[in-house]
């Protein structure tokens, strides 16, 4: 019995990953086709069986969680949503993908899932199985026919390794944990949001679709910002006092100037060991005792060496914090930029909680990749690390998900500036984790005056270590030039004074601070934290101070949190969500069922909802204060979910239109250059024919000038045609033909500041700038040629005028002789012949003069070249 050829269907999470997988497994030899979605297929082996492999992809989740239709109306009582049934429905963008998967699954014997290696990826795996399973032509359903590929980067080595180590089916427990979170977020968020939105709209006659939303993660995140705002608003500055002593010049330390060998003194200040007091009299008493003694005694000297540890592997939270603090890139943008670098194959998967490198991690391979980059600072540092024995990094924390974020290969300098910053962040953290620790020597000089003690601190950096490559970390160096102070010595001082100061309020939370608080309190995951922060910004609960990257609450956000705290503080406190996240993790580990978690959390929040509704009148006090601002902005703001969907659709349509416009412009430019090329050839042929016309006498000076002009024209058109050829060759290499879509590697999917539309625009601008430069060069060259032609034409006209003038002179002279002497016809003929001979001689003399000038210029050029060769030798 003969079996049909084995067929294997592979499904990735994004089209760019599918393309990369096909290239890696087929050794760059595969065939692609595209109907509604792209498919790559090639012959290979599957567990030593010859087979045909097809690789395609989804685009995120295929299904979304929603209520059944009877609970989706606006008139539904929100309390009914807690017990309302939910189901998985097709997401509208994924309907064509679902049909595409069904078509591709037909006739396939095995299914290999290449979804991202996290909980969301496991959940999408089961969505793909749900769509494809019934359409597979499985040999034996009692044996394994579905496999999971696990990988952390999309380099060729990692893809081949994942293919050789295919595991069993995806983890059902992790998928159920995602389902539980989706159900709870839907029920809890929508029930509270619907009630308070209706209440406030009816109370304050708010028109439009303004939504006052609640979220189990969003609201505690907002509460952190409002609590810091309240601390600042309630802060009352207090006056405090401290005593400061400036030491005498005789004991200041010095160093030698490299130019004048003079002593350069440094001011040293001794600080009161008590640091501060709120009692002014106490500070004055200390000052009086110091002024009485007129000197300070060195009571003790202590020196301690401190270690500033190098960083561990980079996880998502630390990456987001550094991106905001150092590079001023918000968390929402930073995570999407990192994902684009991952899709381009430059870094590993950017969503991870792990900071421990795997035991088999090849550090030298990554160092070699960085050492070959064009970024001299990082490349030279990597080369230095390779010359020394490998300094293994600290262990870090293993969370059981992806390894730390590391670079995988060199990134070109043509990346978007913010992509370059995130790539630099990843590279420098990796290099820092393999560097030496920084060593600091701290010396404390204790100076006494009676019963009062003062301190002078000296800090010296003994070994900078990883600080040479990690710019977002530093150490405080103070009084590094102090030396030769002995214990028991008496030191005079220049000035002693009491400083009157004010206590300062805390600053608003920065994005980096907020991410730290969310991680510390268990609000969200490494993947969802940026989205929660972005939600409170989009919904006008906070706004970002761009300069300091601080989150400042709006009146709406402050009123909402204050009202919740007054009604039920637990609704905004992090404990409820932290407990929920812990139970979700128990589902992922198989220690708890989805039903147990959902039932427990629904029971808790349903009671809190009933209590919230019974005390809803307390909302009035807080929202009465901002009534005018609510009514002013109600007509301007759209429903967040609907507006976000509209924005997504608009961006999608805009991307499509911009891409189509780009293709059309590109095609028009291509046709224009071809048309110009043909016209130039016609002109070239025309001038060549004109040049070869027998009517032009080579001995005629005007004909000579014309020949020179046409030769220059011929050379100019030849150069122009070469430029058109090169430009068309450049365009044909851009992968933008009429039947080919741009690849994700050329246009990575980056939201906000890095989306495909902007990258298409950028590439369009680049091509247009090149076209402008070519046109500009052509215009300059043509202008130069026209100036030279006009000059030569003027010279030819002068020559013709001179010749005509001489001829007229001789003719007039001849006529005078005819009138005066009345000579014979024979004499007249002789005279005319002589006149013609003179004219010919003049023409020959002018031609000879021009020839001599050219010969002289040629000799001068040869002499210059000879001199240059002599100098070079």
pLDDT tens-digit series, residues 547-606: 788 999 998 899 999 999 999 999 998 888 888 888 998 998 889 999 999 999 999 999
CA distance 527 to 120: 10
pLDDT reported for residue 486? 80
CA distance 405 to 348: 5
Mean pLDDT of 243-251: 71
| CATH 1.10.290.10 placement within the chain | 316-435
Cα–Cα nearest to 158, from 31, 415, 319, 347: 347
Our answer to whether residue 349 is catalytic in this structure is yes
Sheet architecture: strand order including 49-57: 31-34, 38-46, 49-57, 6-12, 110-114, 146-148
3-state class of 14 per DSSP? Answer: coil
Q: With contact defined as beta carbons under 8 Å apart, do 219 and 572 qualify?
A: yes
pLDDT reported for residue 681? 62
Cβ atoms within 10 Å, residue 32: 14
Mean pLDDT lowest for which of 546-550, 566-570, 682-686, 755-759? 755-759
CATH topology of domain 239-310+439-502: Topoisomerase I; domain 3 (2.70.20)
pLDDT reported for residue 820? 56
Mean pLDDT of 689-705: 45
Element (H, E) at 264: strand 263-265
- Name, in order, each residue with C-beta under 8 angstroms of 182's C-beta and a sequence gap of 6 or more: 64, 65
CA distance 219 to 574: 9
**Sign of the dihedral defined by the CA atoms of residues 793, 799, 805, 810, in that order:** negative
As its CATH architecture, domain 179-235+507-637 has Orthogonal Bundle (1.10)
List, in sequence order, every residue forming a beta bridge with 314; answer none if it has no partner.
Answer: 405
- Is pLDDT of 223 > 90? yes
pLDDT reported for residue 391? 87
CA distance 730 to 81: 59
Mean pLDDT of 380-388: 90
Report the top-level CATH class of 316-435: mainly alpha
- Is pLDDT of 103 > 60? yes
3-state class of 839 per DSSP? Answer: helix
pLDDT reported for residue 552? 92
List, in sequence order, every residue forming a beta bridge with 57; answer none if it has no partner.
Answer: 12
Q: Distance of CA 186 to CAs 93, 160, 180, 609, Å?
A: 20, 39, 10, 14
Give the residue with greater pLDDT, 637 vs 571: 571
Mean pLDDT of 458-480: 85
CA distance 707 to 744: 54
What does the pLDDT look like over 20-32, one tens digit per residue?
A: 899 889 887 888 8
β pairing state of 63-67 and 86-90:
antiparallel
Mean pLDDT of 751-780: 54
CA distance 869 to 289: 85
* Reported pTM: 0.67
What does the pLDDT look like over 21-69, one tens digit per residue?
A: 998 898 878 888 877 788 998 998 888 888 899 999 988 888 889 898 8
List, in sequence order, every residue forming a beta bridge with 458; answer none if it has no partner.
Answer: 443
Per-residue confidence band for 473, with pLDDT thresholds at 50, 70 and 90? confident
- Is pLDDT of 8 > 90? yes
Q: Distance of CA 737 to CAs 660, 665, 666, 741, Å?
A: 11, 12, 9, 8
Structure tokens at 257: 């100037």
β pairing state of 6-12 and 49-57:
parallel
CA distance 458 to 474: 16
Cα–Cα nearest to 159, from 55, 310, 291, 6: 55
pLDDT reported for residue 228? 93
pLDDT reported for residue 698? 40
Give me the percent of the chain exceeding a pLDDT of 70: 69
The phi, psi pair for 364, rounded to 5°, reads: -65, -30
* CATH match for 6-170 among 1.10.10.10, 3.40.50.300, 3.40.50.140, 1.20.1730.10: 3.40.50.140
Give me the percent of the chain exceeding a pLDDT of 90: 20
Nearest-5° Cα angle at 259, 254 to 261: 40
Structure tokens at 417: 């500036």
Mean pLDDT of 98-117: 90
List, in sequence order, every residue forming a beta bridge with 11; answer none if it has no partner.
Answer: 56, 113
CA distance 541 to 572: 14
Per-residue confidence band for 731, with pLDDT thresholds at 50, 70 and 90? very low
Mean pLDDT computed over every residue of the chain: 77
Q: Distance of CA 572 to CAs 179, 225, 250, 385, 843, Å?
A: 23, 11, 61, 48, 103
- Angle at which helix 172-204 crosses helix 574-588, to 10 degrees, equals 150
Mean pLDDT lowest for which of 164-168, 294-298, 307-311, 853-857? 853-857
- Is pLDDT of 10 > 90? yes
Q: With contact defined as beta carbons under 8 Å apart, do 354 and 404 qualify?
A: yes
pLDDT reported for residue 28? 79
CA distance 242 to 280: 9
pLDDT reported for residue 633? 52
Q: Buried b / exposed e across 132-153, counting CB within 10 Å, b at 16+? A: beeebeeeeeeeebbbbbbbbb
CA distance 527 to 574: 18
Cβ atoms within 10 Å, residue 101: 24
Q: Distance of CA 366 to CAs 410, 585, 630, Å?
A: 9, 33, 54
Cα–Cα nearest to 539, from 650, 644, 646, 616: 644
| 612 CB burial (10 A radius; 0-12, 13-18, 19+) | buried
| 388 CB burial (10 A radius; 0-12, 13-18, 19+) | exposed
pLDDT reported for residue 258? 35
| CATH 2.70.20.10 placement within the chain | 239-310+439-502
- Is pLDDT of 253 > 70? no
Give the residue with greater pLDDT, 412 vs 565: 565
Q: With contact defined as beta carbons under 8 Å apart, do 480 and 459 qualify?
A: yes
Quick one: CA torsion of 127, 130, 131, 133, rounded to 10 degrees? 130
Per-residue confidence band for 480, with pLDDT thresholds at 50, 70 and 90? confident
pLDDT reported for residue 676? 55
| CATH 3.40.50.140 placement within the chain | 6-170
Give the residue with greater pLDDT, 708 vs 299: 299
Half-sphere exposure of 449 (CA within 13 A, CB side): 25
Alpha helical stretches, state H, 26-155:
95-105, 119-132
Q: With contact defined as beta carbons under 8 Å apart, do 34 and 55 qualify?
A: no
Ranges 303-317, 388-402, 473-487, most confident: 303-317
CA distance 744 to 14: 9
CA distance 17 to 694: 68
Cα–Cα nearest to 551, from 562, 575, 535: 535
β pairing state of 110-114 and 146-148:
parallel
pLDDT reported for residue 26? 87
Give the residue with greater pLDDT, 293 vs 744: 293
Q: Distance of CA 662 to CAs 254, 736, 775, Å?
A: 66, 9, 20
pLDDT reported for residue 256? 34
Per-residue confidence band for 72, with pLDDT thresholds at 50, 70 and 90? confident
Task: List, as own/partner pairs, every contact residues 670-679 make where C-beta atoms lie below 8 angstroms and the sequence separation is at least 24, other chains included.
Answer: 670/728, 670/731, 673/724, 673/727, 673/728, 674/724, 674/728, 676/720, 676/724, 677/721, 677/724, 677/725
Q: Buried b / exposed e across 810-826, counting CB within 10 Å, b at 16+? A: beeebeeeeeeeeeeee
- Is pLDDT of 668 > 60? no
- Is pLDDT of 208 > 60? no
Structure tokens at 867: 């001199």
Catalytic, out of 41, 214, 349, 717:
349
Q: With contact defined as beta carbons under 8 Å apart, do 189 and 213 qualify?
A: yes
CA distance 18 to 7: 17
Q: With contact defined as beta carbons under 8 Å apart, do 637 and 213 qualify?
A: no
């Amino acid at each position: 019995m003969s079996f049909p050829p084995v067929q294997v269907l592979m499904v990735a999470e994004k089209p760019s990953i599918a393309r990369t997988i096909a290239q890696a497994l087929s050794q760059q030899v595969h065939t692609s086709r595209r109907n509604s979605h792209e498919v790559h297929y090639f012959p290979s082996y599957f567990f030593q069986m010859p087979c045909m492999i097809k690789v395609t992809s989804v685009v995120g989740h295929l299904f979304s969680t929603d209520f059944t239709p009877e609970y989706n109306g606006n008139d539904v009582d929100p309390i009914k949503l807690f017990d309302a049934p939910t189901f998985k429905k097709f997401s509208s963008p994924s309907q064509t993908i679902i049909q595409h998967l069904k078509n591709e699954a037909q006739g396939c014997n095995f299914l290999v899932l290449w979804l991202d290696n996290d909980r969301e990826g496991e959940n999408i795996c089961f969505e793909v199985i749900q769509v494809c399973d019934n359409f597979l032509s499985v040999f034996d359903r009692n044996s394994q026919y579905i496999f999971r590929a696990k990988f952390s980067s999309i380099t060729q080595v990692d893809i081949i390794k994942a293919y050789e180590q295919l595991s069993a089916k995806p983890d059902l427990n992790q998928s159920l944990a995602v389902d539980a979170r989706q159900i709870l977020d839907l029920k809890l968020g929508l029930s509270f949001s619907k009630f308070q939105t209706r209440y406030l709209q009816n109370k304050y006659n708010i028109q439009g679709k303004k939504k006052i939303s609640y979220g189990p993660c969003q609201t505690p995140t907002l509460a952190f910002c409002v609590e810091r705002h309240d601390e600042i608003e309630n802060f009352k500055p207090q006056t405090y006092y401290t005593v400061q002593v400036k030491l005498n010049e005789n004991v200041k330390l010095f160093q030698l100037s490299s130019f004048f060998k003079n002593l350069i003194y440094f001011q040293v200040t001794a600080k009161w060991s008590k640091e501060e007091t709120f009692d002014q009299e106490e500070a004055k008493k200390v000052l009086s005792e110091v002024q009485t003694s007129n000197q300070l005694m060195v009571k003790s000297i202590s020196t301690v060496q401190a270690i500033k540890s190098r960083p561990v592997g980079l996880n998502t939270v630390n990456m987001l914090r550094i991106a905001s603090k150092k590079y001023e890139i918000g968390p929402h943008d930073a995570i999407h930029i990192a994902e684009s670098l991952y899709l381009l194959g430059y870094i590993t998967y950017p969503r991870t909680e792990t900071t421990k490198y795997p035991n088999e991690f090849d550090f030298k391979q990554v160092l070699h990749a960085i050492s070959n980059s064009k970024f001299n600072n990082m490349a030279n540092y990597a080369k230095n690390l390779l010359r020394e024995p490998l300094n293994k990094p600290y262990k870090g924390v293993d969370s059981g998900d992806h390894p730390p974020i590391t670079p995988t290969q060199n990134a070109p300098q043509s990346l978007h500036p913010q992509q370059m910053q995130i790539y630099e962040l990843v590279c420098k953290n990796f290099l820092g984790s393999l560097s030496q620790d920084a060593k600091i020597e701290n010396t404390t000089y204790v100076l006494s005056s009676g019963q009062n003690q003062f301190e002078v601190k000296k800090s010296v950096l003994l070994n900078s270590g990883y600080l040479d490559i990690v710019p977002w970390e530093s150490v405080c160096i103070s009084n590094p030039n102090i030396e030769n102070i002995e214990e028991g010595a008496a030191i005079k001082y220049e000035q002693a004074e009491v400083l009157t100061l004010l206590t300062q309020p805390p600053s608003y939370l920065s994005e980096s601070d907020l991410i730290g608080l969310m991680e510390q309190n268990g609000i969200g995951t490494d993947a969802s934290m940026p989205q929660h922060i972005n939600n409170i910004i989009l919904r006008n609960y906070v706004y970002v101070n761009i300069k300091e990257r601080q989150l400042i609450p709006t009146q709406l956000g402050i009123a909402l949190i204050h009202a919740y705290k007054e009604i039920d503080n637990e609704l905004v406190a992090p404990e409820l969500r932290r407990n929920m996240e812990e139970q979700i993790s128990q589902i992922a580990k198989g220690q708890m069922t989805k039903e147990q978690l959902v039932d427990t959390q629904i029971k808790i929040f349903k009671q809190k909802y009933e209590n919230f509704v019974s005390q809803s009148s307390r909302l009035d006090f807080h929202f009465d204060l901002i009534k005018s601002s609510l009514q002013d902005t109600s007509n301007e703001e759209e429903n967040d979910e609907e507006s976000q969907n509209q924005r997504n659709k608009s961006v999608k349509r805009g991307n499509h239109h911009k891409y189509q416009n780009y293709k059309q412009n590109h095609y028009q430019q291509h046709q224009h250059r071809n048309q110009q090329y043909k016209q130039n050839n016609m002109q070239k042929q025309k001038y060549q024919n004109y040049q070869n016309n027998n009517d032009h006498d080579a001995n005629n000076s005007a004909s000579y000038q014309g020949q020179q002009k046409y030769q220059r024209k011929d050379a100019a058109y030849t150069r122009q045609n070469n430029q058109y050829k090169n430009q068309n060759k450049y365009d044909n290499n851009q992968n933008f033909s009429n039947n080919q879509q741009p690849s994700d590697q050329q246009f990575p999917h980056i939201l906000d500041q890095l989306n495909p539309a902007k990258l298409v625009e950028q590439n369009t601008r680049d091509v247009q700038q090149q076209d402008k430069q070519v046109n500009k060069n052509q215009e300059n060259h043509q202008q130069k040629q026209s100036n030279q032609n006009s000059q030569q034409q003027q010279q030819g006209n002068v020559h013709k005028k001179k010749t005509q003038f001489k001829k007229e002179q001789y003719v007039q002279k001849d006529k005078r002789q005819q009138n005066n002497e009345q000579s014979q016809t024979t004499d007249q003929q002789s005279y005319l012949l002589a006149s013609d001979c003179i004219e010919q001689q003049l023409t020959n003399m002018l031609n000879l003069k021009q020839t001599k000038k050219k010969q002289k210029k040629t000799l001068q050029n040869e002499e210059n070249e000879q001199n240059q060769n002599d100098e070079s030798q």
